[in-house]
Chains A and B, each alone.
Chain A
Amino acid sequence: MSDTGYTEVVTHAKVREVELPLGAGTMALITLDNGHDHSKPNTLGPQTLASIDAAIDAALAVTGVVAIGITGKPFWVAAGADLKGVQVITDREQALDVARTGHRVLGRLGDSPVPSFAFLNGAALGGGLEIALNSTYRTASRAAGALALPEVAIGLLPGWGGNWLVPNLVGADNAVTVIIDKPLNNKVMKADEAAGLGLVDAVFDGADFLAQSLLWAAKVLRGDETVQRPEIDRSEQTWGAAIARARGIAAAKGRGTYPNADKAIDLIAEARTATKAEGFALEDEGLADLIMSDTTRANLYAFDLVQRRAKKPAGAPDRSLARKVEKVGVVGAGLMASQLALLFARQMKVPVVITDLDQQRVDKGVAYVHGEVDKLVAKGRMDADTSNRVKALVTGTTDKALFSDADFVIEAVFEKMEVKQQVFGELESFVKPECVLATNTSSLSVAEMAKDLQYPERVVGFHFFTPVALMPTLEIAPTDRTDDATLATAFAVGKAIKKNCVWSKDATAFIVNRLLMRGLGEAITTVDEGTPFQVADEGVVKAGFPLGAFILIAMTGPGVALHTAESLMQAFPDRFTASPGFAAMVAAGKPAIYLWDEKGKASVDPEVAALWPQGDRPSTAEQVATRIKEAMADESRHMLDEGVVQAPQDIDLAMIGGAGLPLPHGGLLPMLDSEGISERVTGRRFLPPGVASVPTT
C-alpha cells in the first residue's frame, strides 16, 4: 500500500513493570502512546497492532508477572482503527486481514495466561474500547471524554470483538443500546453510564484514576474484591425483543441506507449461541464485506469531510490575516436576523446590536433573543450567569450610528437588490472602513450589492441555513474584489460560531440552494406534468433528502423558495424553469401545499390543488428520484466547471450540513458516481474510484 501516500502514525505500546500495591505482585503495564499531545489521538493501524502484539509478548516475558495492564496516554486510550488505512484497502484479502489481525492481537488480552486489566483513563472509541472488551477486567475514569462503539455510524461494525463480546458481556438489549442506538443517535457514554450498562467493572475519578485502578486490580488479584457481572438472559424471547428494537432504531434512523447496521444487528443475534471463535469469524467476514462496499467507503469519506475538511476549509486565506471581531451588528430584526443575533452573542460572547427601521420591530427582535435564552436556561443548557451575560450583549436600536465601532455587520433584510444596496450604502457612512459587511442573501449577487460602495473589498457573502442554530453549513462567498483580510475574518467568525464553513464563488444561490432548487425544481416539474404531490415527495426522499420537497419548501417559506428559483431562472434559463402552479400558490399566500390534522398527518390542501394546473403524464416515485439525481448531477458538473466550489468534496460537505443529505451516501456525489448517474449524465465521475468508493485497481 506504499503507493497510496498513506503513512500510519504509529501508536507505540510501551511496557513498564509496575509493583502492585498490597504485595499483589508485578503487573506489566502497557501504555499506548503515539508521542503526540492530546490533540492527536492514538489510532490503531497495522504497525500499532504489531506494537501491541510485541508488547504482549514482552509483558508475558516479565519474570513473575501476575497480570497485564493496558491503558492510554493522557486523555486518550484510542480513537479507534486508523480509518485512513482502511480507505486504501484494495482487495478483500486485505480487508479480512485487518479484521483478523485485530482479533488475533486484541484477542490475546482475553486468552492470556494471566488476567488482563484495561484501564480506560481517556477516550476509548471503537477499537479503543474493544481493547478493553477483550481484556479480563475493565476500569474507566470519570474524566474519560467519551466511551463508544461508533462503528455503525460510519459504515462499519465493531469488528475487533465488540459485536460478539458486548452482547455476551451485557446481554442483547444493552448491546443494542451500545452498538446500534447510541452511534445512530450520535451519542457517547461517560464512565458511570458504561458501568451501569455493565461494560466496565469499576469507575474512579480522574484525579488519581490509574493509582486507584492499580489498587483495585491488586485487590481483584488477591481475591479481596470480587467482580460482579450480571447474569445474561439468553432466552430467545429476550434476545429476539432486543433484535426487534434494534431493527426499529435502524429503520427509523437509517431510512434503508445503513446496510452495515443490519449486519451489526445480525451479528448481535448470532452472538446468543455463537462461540467466541465463531463470533469473531463472523465479524471478520462482515467487516471485510463492509470494507469492500461502496456504501461504507462513501460513509467513511463523508465522516472524514465533516471531521477534517470542515475544520480546515478549502479556499480560506491564512487565519493570521483575520481581524479581531469584538462587536457585531445585525441589520434587520426579523426572525432570521434575531436568530443570527442570538448565535453571535451566544457563541462569540461579543456585543451584538440589532437595528431595524422602527423601534417596535427592534424590541421584538431583542425580545425574541431573550426568550430563546430563557428557553435554554429552562432546559438546563445555559446557566443563570451566562444567560445574564448573553442577554446583556444583545441590544437593539434604530440608530445605525451605534455601528460605528462594530467590526462585523451582517444584513438579513428583505431579499431585494435595491434594498440591500441601500442598506450597505447607508452603513458605510457609519462604520469604520475595515468593518466587514456581510450579507445573508441566498441568491443575489454579492458583487452587485457591493459595486457602488466606497470600500467594496470588505463585502462578503455569509449564507446560513434554517434553522440557523442547527444547520452546520455556512457558505462564505467572496466577490472578485473581496480582500483577504475580509475573507479571513469571515472564516474566523464562521469558526467562532461553530459552523462548517464552505467557500463558494459569488454565483447565484451559491452551492446548496442551487442544487436543492435544481433537484426540487425537477420534482415540481413532475408535479406540473401530472405526478401527485405525495408521489413526488416520495421521490425526493428516495433521492436521499431527509424530507419531501414540499415539506422542505414549507420550512424555508414558499416565498423565499420562489424568489431563489426566480433568481436561478434568470441566471440559468436553460436549466431552471418556472412552475405556474408553484407561482400561483405563492401568489395566493399559501404557506404549504399540505394541511396537517391534529395527529400530524398531512393531506394536500384542496385549495392548493385547485390552484395548481397539472398535466396527464405522471411519474412514479422511482422515476422522480432518478430525474432529481440526474438533474443534480448535471448541475454539479456545471458548478465544478464554473468554479463555484474549490473541489467536489465541498459540494458534499455543503449538502450534508446544509440540506441534511446522509453520510452513508457520502453526501451527494459518491451516490451519483456509484449509481452510474454521473457518467450517464455528464460523461464522467465526480470523484476518482477509491476516494469515496472501493478502489478499482
Chain B
Amino acid sequence: MRRTVRDVVFVDGVRTPFGKAGAKSQYAETRADDLVVALIRELMRRNPQLPPEAIDEVAIAATTQTGDQGLTIGRTAAILAGLPRSVPGYSIDRMCAGGMTAATNVMAAIAVGGADVAIAGGVEHMTKHPMGEGFDPNPRIISEKLVDPAALNMGVTAENLHDRFPHLTKERADAYGVASQEKYAKALADGKIQQDLVPIQIWSSEKGWGLAVADEPPRPGTTMEGIANLKTPFRPRGRVTAANASPLTDGATACIVAAADVAEQLGLPAKMRLVSFAFAGVEPEVMGVGPVPATEKALARAGLSIDDIGLFELNEAFSVQVLALLDHYGIADDDPRVNPWGGAIAVGHPLASSGVRLFTQLARHFETHPEVRYGLTSMCVGLGQGGTVIWENPHHADYGKENDK
C-alpha cells in the first residue's frame, strides 16, 4: 500500500488553573490523575461532535510516573474519564517537554495514518512529586564525568547559561521576568487567560470542598526594585532568582489533535495546522540553550526562516534561557510577538504539562492575528534538550497554500 502523509490539525486545548506547589497549593489534597480526567471530560463537552469512540489514543505525559501519576496514566485517566474501554492510552516522558512530545508523537501517528484523532496532554503535581523524586543516578555519570552532577539541578544550568552568555545579564533576566508578570496580568484582566481554563473541584481536609478557578503562581505588581535583592539560591551572588525563573507548579493540560480531513468530516474546528517539529540535544550543563538547535531543525524541515514566524510561545523555565533563543535570532527581549500573555515565569511550569499550554495559547493568538501565518512553540528540557513545534494559522489568507519558499 502507498502511504500518504496527512495534514494534522490542533482542534482544541484546555488546562487546569495552576497551583503554586507546596503544602498550601490549591491542589495539595487533589489527585494528579483527577486533574487530567477533568480536562479530558471538558474537551469532550466542548467538542460534542467528536464521538468518544473515535479517539484513537490518549497520550499523557508526566515526569514522575509513580503514585497518582503512575501505572500508565494515559490509560487510567481515559478509563476514569469515562471514555469507552476501546480507547487506548499510554504514558510518556521527556521531562519538561513531555506534553509537547505526547502531542508530536500522536500527531506523527496521525500523519502516517496510525490514528485519526487523539488526545495529548501532560500533568505534573510537583507538590506530591518533587522534581527528580525517586531518581537513582547511575554512578557512571560521575565516575566517567558524563554530566556535571550539578547539571541535574535546573537552576544551576541557568546560572551556567549566564556564564556562557555574559551579555545576558541579571538585569535583562529580571526585566524579562517583570514583563512576563505584567503581560500575564493584562491578559487576565482582559479575560484572555480564562477562556481555556477548566474549573477543578478541589478537596481540603481543613476547608472541605472548593473550586479552583484561577492560577495561584502569578505575582502581579512585580517591579525591578522589588526583585533586585532576591536570594540567588543556586549560587552565591548569582543571577537566577525566584523572579526570573518559573515557580514549582501543580497543573495539567490536554488537547485534541486530528487528521485535517477527519476533523473536517466530524465538524471539528482546526485552530492550527502542524507544519513541522524537531527535538535536539545540547550539553546538559546548559540545557536552557536547547530550543536553539531544535528551532533550527524545525525551521529547516519546514523550509521556513525565523523571519516567517509571526508569533512565539516560548516556555519560560528561566528568563536567561528564553533570552538565549531571542538573542540567537536577534529578536528584542521585549518583542511583542513573543509570549503576548506572559509565560511560565508568571503562570508557572508544571513540567510535563507546559508544552500543551504553549499550543493552546498560540491557537488563541492565531484567532486574533489573521495577519500572522506561522507561529512557533518551543521549550528547553532538562538534561540538555530542546523541542520546537511550528504551526500554521488557518485564519491567514494564504492558509493551506503551498509555501513559496
A166 within 8 A of B: no
Contact residue among B34, B203, B213 (Cβ-Cβ distance under 8 Å from A19): B213
Among residues 149 to 198 in chain B, which have CB atoms less than 8 Å away from a CB atom of chain A? 198
Most buried by B among A14, A35, A121: A14
B207 interfacial contact with A, CB 8 Å: yes
- The answer to whether A210 has its CB under 8 Å from any CB of chain B is yes
B82: CB under 8 A from chain A? yes
Q: Within 8 Å of chain A (Cβ to Cβ): is B403? A: no
B37, B208, B214 pick with most chain A CB within 10 angstroms: B208
Residue of B nearest to A55 (CB): B208
A19 touching B37 in the complex, CB below 8 Å, given contacts A33-B205, A205-B82, A211-B199? no
Given the contacts A208-B38, A211-B38, A21 and B199 also touching, CB distance less than 8 Å: yes
Q: Are B210 and A18 in contact (CB under 8 A)?
A: yes
Interface string of A26-45 (1 = CB under 8 A from B): 00011101010000000000
Q: CB-CB < 8 A to A215: which residues of B?
A: 199
Contact residues in B for A15 (Cβ distance below 8 Å): 208
By a CB distance below 8 angstroms, the chain A residues around B207 are 14, 16, 31
Q: Which of B81, B82, B211 contacts A211 (CB 8 A)?
A: B211
Q: Do A16 and B201 touch across chains, with their CB atoms under 8 A apart? A: no
When the two chains form their complex, are residues A30 and B208 in contact, meaning their CB atoms are under 8 A apart? yes
CB distance from B228 to the nearest CB of A (A): 34
CA distance A246 to B405 in the complex (A): 83
Given A16-B208, A29-B210, A71-B209, is A211 in contact with B203 using a C-beta cutoff of 8 Å?
Answer: no
A30 to B206 CA separation, bound complex (whole angstroms): 12
Q: Given the interface contacts A18-B211, A21-B213, A214-B199, does A207 sit within 8 Å of B81 by beta carbon? A: yes
Kindly state the interface size class of chain A when it binds its partner. Answer: 20 to 34
Q: Which residues of A contact B205 (CB under 8 A)?
A: 33, 35
Asked if B80 is at the interface (CB within 8 A of a chain A CB), the reply is yes
Chain B nearest CB: distance from A78 CB in Å?
Answer: 14
**A74 on interface, CB distance cutoff 8 Å:** yes
Q: Which of A26-68 contact B (CB under 8 A)?
A: 29-31, 33, 35
* Residue in B34, B42, B199 whose Cβ sees the most chain A Cβ within 10 Å: B199
Q: Is B38 within 8 A of A31, CB to CB?
A: no
A19–B212 CA distance with the chains assembled, in angstroms? 9
> Complex formed: what's the CA distance from A35 to B206 in Å?
9
Q: In the complex the two chains form, what is the Cα distance from A214 to B199 in whole Å?
A: 10
Q: B231: which A residues are within 8 A, CB to CB? A: none
Residues of A within 8 A of B81 (CB): 207
Bound together, the chains give a CA A210 to CA B38 distance in angstroms of 11
The residues of A that contact B214 with a CB separation of less than 8 Å are 19
- B208: chain A residues within 8 A (beta carbon): 14-16, 29-31, 33, 71, 73
Verify A207–B38 contact, CB threshold 8 A.
yes
Q: Counting CB contacts under 8 A, is B200 at the interface? A: yes
Question: Cα distance A18–B212 when bound, in Å?
Answer: 9
Interface residues of A (CB under 8 A from B): 14-16, 18-21, 29-31, 33, 35, 71, 73-74, 121, 205, 207-211, 214-215
Other than the given A74-B203, A209-B201, 6 more pairs (CB < 8 A) read A21-B213, A31-B207, A205-B82, A207-B80, A210-B209, A215-B199
| CB<8 Å pairs between A and B, sample of 26 | A14-B206, A14-B207, A16-B209, A18-B210, A19-B213, A19-B214, A21-B213, A29-B208, A29-B210, A31-B209, A33-B208, A35-B205, A71-B208, A73-B208, A207-B41, A207-B82, A208-B37, A208-B42, A208-B201, A209-B201, A210-B211, A211-B200, A211-B201, A211-B211, A214-B211, A215-B199
